[in-house]
Amino acid sequence: MARLALMAGPVAFFAVFFAYPVAAIVARGLEVDGVWRFGRIGDVLAQSDVRHVLWFTTWQALASTALTLLVALPGAYVFARFDFPGKQVLRAVVTVPFVLPTVVVGTAFLALVGRGGLLDELWGVRLDTTVWAILLAHVFFNYAVVVRTVGGLWAQLDPRQEEAARMLGASRARAWRQVTLPALAPAVAAAALMVFLFTFTSFGVVQILGGPAFSTLEVEIYRQTSQVFDLSTAAVLTLIQFAAVVAVLAVHAWTVRRRESALRLVDAATTARRPRGAGQWALLAGVLATVALLVVLPLAVLVQRSLGAPGFGYYRALTEADGGAFLVPPIEAIGNSLQYALAATAIAVVIGALAAAALTRRDAGRFVRGFDALLMLPLGVSAVTVGFGFLIALDEPPLDLRASWILVPLAQALVGVPFVVRTMLPVLRAVDGRLREAAAVLGASPWRVWREVDLPMVRRALLVAAGFAFAVSLGEFGATVFIARPDNPTLPVAVARLLGRPGDMNYGQAMALSTILMLVCAVALVVLERLRTDRSGEF
């Protein structure tokens, strides 16, 4: 019963703000006079263009995921196990790309790997309109996903377990393979799944860096809905993407379930130490160099371009309402964005924490496991579909929210919840169930068990989850652009609008606003890092 009560909130939230709007827009495309035309699915799939899109979407997502894991897993280890100056700031910095609007990242990346970019000047290499630019940008975007998801758990694994295995005669490789790897596997799987989902549904990066010749399902859905206005093709593609994502999630749920085990978690602060020996220093140096090249450099290009006018001219221009691109000074977008993102974070944390708590229970049945996968679906469904769905579904009483500002945080929370659940589940599931049972036997209420057993152990995960939810909300563009009110633009929406206008001032202001967005995220993430260490001493 308690489980059902916990689940009621998240289920209602997803039914009303996700399933209903998406169903409404799909119905608009496929339902004619009350008859569903599922025959369209066959027609659309028969087109070679569509099959080409499917194939490209899949292989580039697989390649991006593999590349991201390859590049970021050493980073996760370094962030989890090593102590070095500036670690907190750096952890925040690598997360910044994740929240930048794709239009900004695309522009910055073009300056790096495009014509006249750094690679071009050094070696005459240009990667724009090649798949390599897309893959690199995907790594840039998702580096933090792996570092934070895997590193978060890694930091809490007791190193003494591996040491014990070594003492008992296991080789270093064997100790890692048989002790650390199995414990880490759910987090690696979760991270890989997230990266795959993000790259499978990649939109802005593919459009900007790949050019019109490359098209993922998400890009094609956007084109069919927003440009060609062929709603039935868009609906079919939405369903295909939906089915693909469900299949991936099902496989993931199966692998994770097989590997789950109760872990001995310790305070993250006690596991990290200074690197020792040449090998470890080299590893640290390698990771830092990767971060500098892959993450810091594109961000630096952005900052450099925002300073193109003398005396911070672009920044000063942001405070003026010119009556042109905006009804309000662009600088106000910062306040809007923060408010929306805070609201979205609050919603996502509450919904996500309830869902994670419900899913943790060992007696979870098939229904609950299905619910686990369901929570991830918003990441796999086109933001364009969700945005349009909100518009046509949430416009009548009792849900007439279309003119209300809460619509934006609701849409942003949809992409935030999966992060909260994903970050908290591995840790929550790793809590030894006997602790809960012991507390219950001693007379604690379920609420008190959660508060005194689970919460202290997952507090850190909760904060990381909140940070992620905040960050993705701040950078969310695909759905927000459809529903944000023009007099209350968010930062990414404002940047896109400025980029859409000719002239140096608008371009410079877009770069300046992007830089501000980047700094806001960095500051928020650094604060979060501080919060984390203040509290982790209590474990």
Backbone angles phi, psi at 157, to 5 degrees: -75, 135
Candidate list 77, 371, 388, 468; residue touching another protein; CB under 8 A: 388
For residues 526 and 234, give the distance between their C-alpha atoms in angstroms, rounded to a whole number: 40
- Binding residues among 246-265 for another protein as defined by CB under 8 A: none
Least distance in angstroms from the C-beta of 403 to another protein: 5
275 near 82, Cβ under 8 Å?
Answer: yes
Q: What DSSP letter does each residue of 15-32 carry, written as one string? A: IIIIIHHHHHHHHHHHEE
Candidate list 113, 179, 349, 379; residue touching another protein; CB under 8 A: 349
- Binding residues among 286-305 for another protein as defined by CB under 8 A: 305
For residues 428 and 361, give the distance between their C-alpha atoms in angstroms, rounded to a whole number: 9
- Binding residues among 153-172 for another protein as defined by CB under 8 A: none
Ramachandran category for residue 101: left, alpha or beta (phi over 0 → left; psi -120 to 50 → alpha) = beta
Least distance in angstroms from the C-beta of 50 to another protein: 13
How many residues form the binding site for another protein (CB under 8 A)? 68
Closer Cβ to another protein, 71 or 103, answer by number: 103
Closer Cβ to another protein, 168 or 227, answer by number: 227
Q: What DSSP letter does each residue of 121-158 carry, written as one string? A: HHH----TTSHHHHHHHHHHHHHHHHHHHHHHHHTTB-
For residues 123 and 125, give the distance between their C-alpha atoms in angstroms, rounded to a whole number: 5
Backbone angles phi, psi at 329, to 5 degrees: -60, 135
User: What residue has token string 């996700």?
Assistant: 18
Least distance in angstroms from the C-beta of 240 to another protein: 20
Note whether 306 binds another protein by CB under 8 A.
Answer: no
**C-alpha pair distances (Å), 250 with each of 191, 193, 254, 418:** 15, 11, 6, 15
- Binding residues among 427-456 for another protein as defined by CB under 8 A: 451-452, 455
Candidate list 378, 409, 418, 467; residue touching another protein; CB under 8 A: 409
Least distance in angstroms from the C-beta of 84 to another protein: 27
516 CB-near residues (< 8 Å, 6+ apart): 315, 318, 334, 491
Least distance in angstroms from the C-beta of 491 to another protein: 15
Q: What DSSP letter does each residue of 324-385 carry, written as one string? A: SS-SS-TTHHHHHHHHHHHHHHHHHHHHHHHHHHHHH-TT--HHHHHHHHHHHHHHHS-HHH
Note whether 43 binds another protein by CB under 8 A.
Answer: no
55-63, 94-102, 175-183, 404-412 -> range binding another protein (CB under 8 A): 404-412
Note whether 308 binds another protein by CB under 8 A.
Answer: yes
Note whether 320 binds another protein by CB under 8 A.
Answer: no
Give 273's strand partners.
82
Question: Coil, strand, or helix at residue 265?
Answer: strand
Note whether 530 binds another protein by CB under 8 A.
Answer: no
Candidate list 65, 149, 156, 225; residue touching another protein; CB under 8 A: 225
Candidate list 182, 335, 370, 486; residue touching another protein; CB under 8 A: 486
Candidate list 40, 361, 369, 459; residue touching another protein; CB under 8 A: 459
Neighbouring CB atoms inside 10 A of 259's CB total: 14
Neighbouring CB atoms inside 10 A of 368's CB total: 17
Closer Cβ to another protein, 107 or 142, answer by number: 107
Note whether 307 binds another protein by CB under 8 A.
Answer: no
For residues 273 and 197, give the distance between their C-alpha atoms in angstroms, rounded to a whole number: 34
Ordered alpha helix ranges (H), 260-276: 268-271
Q: Please give the span between the terminal C-alpha atoms of the chain, in angstroms, as a whole number.
A: 31
Q: How many residues does the chain have?
A: 539
Candidate list 46, 168, 173, 213; residue touching another protein; CB under 8 A: 213
Candidate list 22, 110, 428, 471; residue touching another protein; CB under 8 A: 110
Closer Cβ to another protein, 110 or 183, answer by number: 110
Torsion angle of the four alpha carbons 142, 148, 154, 156, in this order, in degrees rounded to the nearest 10: -170
Candidate list 43, 163, 396, 437; residue touching another protein; CB under 8 A: 396
Least distance in angstroms from the C-beta of 200 to another protein: 20
Candidate list 309, 328, 435, 522; residue touching another protein; CB under 8 A: 309
Closer Cβ to another protein, 114 or 378, answer by number: 114
Backbone angles phi, psi at 265, to 5 degrees: -100, 140
Closer Cβ to another protein, 18 or 482, answer by number: 482
Note whether 391 binds another protein by CB under 8 A.
Answer: yes
162-170, 172-180, 278-286, 322-330 -> range binding another protein (CB under 8 A): 322-330
93-101, 154-162, 169-177, 204-212 -> range binding another protein (CB under 8 A): 204-212
Least distance in angstroms from the C-beta of 511 to another protein: 9
Candidate list 114, 152, 352, 418; residue touching another protein; CB under 8 A: 114
For residues 285 and 161, give the distance between their C-alpha atoms in angstroms, rounded to a whole number: 27
Least distance in angstroms from the C-beta of 263 to another protein: 23
Interface residues with another protein (CB under 8 A)? Answer: 28, 49, 107, 110-111, 114-117, 207-208, 211-213, 223, 225-229, 305, 308-309, 313, 323-325, 327, 342-343, 346-347, 349-350, 388, 391-392, 395-396, 400-406, 409, 451-452, 455, 459, 481-482, 485-487, 497, 499-507, 535, 538
